[in-house]
Structure 1
């Protein structure tokens, strides 16, 4: 196994750990899982959940510290565009969900803290 593969595997394991923590956090607050790790040509949506009638596309971010903008700052305009494009594909493939209100949430883990930003940005990518 190459160093790059080991690094990628470790990074994926860390991501899986925090996505699991995010899922538990959100479920404890009443959200229901629809799909984890929705992959498409535009990227990945970490969690697709329901909050009552609302469909929620969740991006999970982790950073050890707030250096370089921290977890929340790592959701760049380019990342928001990819998430929005992936959400449009989801809605196209799931017509019943296309009739629901939708929002984009970010669950940011930074060190030992977690911050849940509901409606972190809209479908135009604006915060």
Structure 2
């Protein structure tokens, strides 16, 4: 199974919104095979709690403009790991340290990546 066209479209929206808010290391994974609840994860990192919250707010605003409403939001108060569930995709915005600790890329290493439309320079 592969991510739907709508999920791929929303990945691009989320990735660009995160990048606009200075997110680092934006990666998208196609989790549609092993995870029947969603098609894709978008992972992004921020330098500090304020940056993490800003990234999450920017992503949520852009997704609303694209017609995707959040089903669930978690972690905004702490600003360390914010999860935004839009059904077709789930966006994880991490503080850099927490992303390294939880290492979702390692947990989902068998899942293919999806294009984010970002240049290599903006993802690093």
- TM norm. shorter chain > 0.5: no
Larger radius of gyration: 1
Task: Return the structure number with greater strand share.
Answer: 1
Output the TM-score relative to the length of structure 2: 0.35
Q: Which has the higher contact order (CA 8 A, sep 6+)?
A: 2
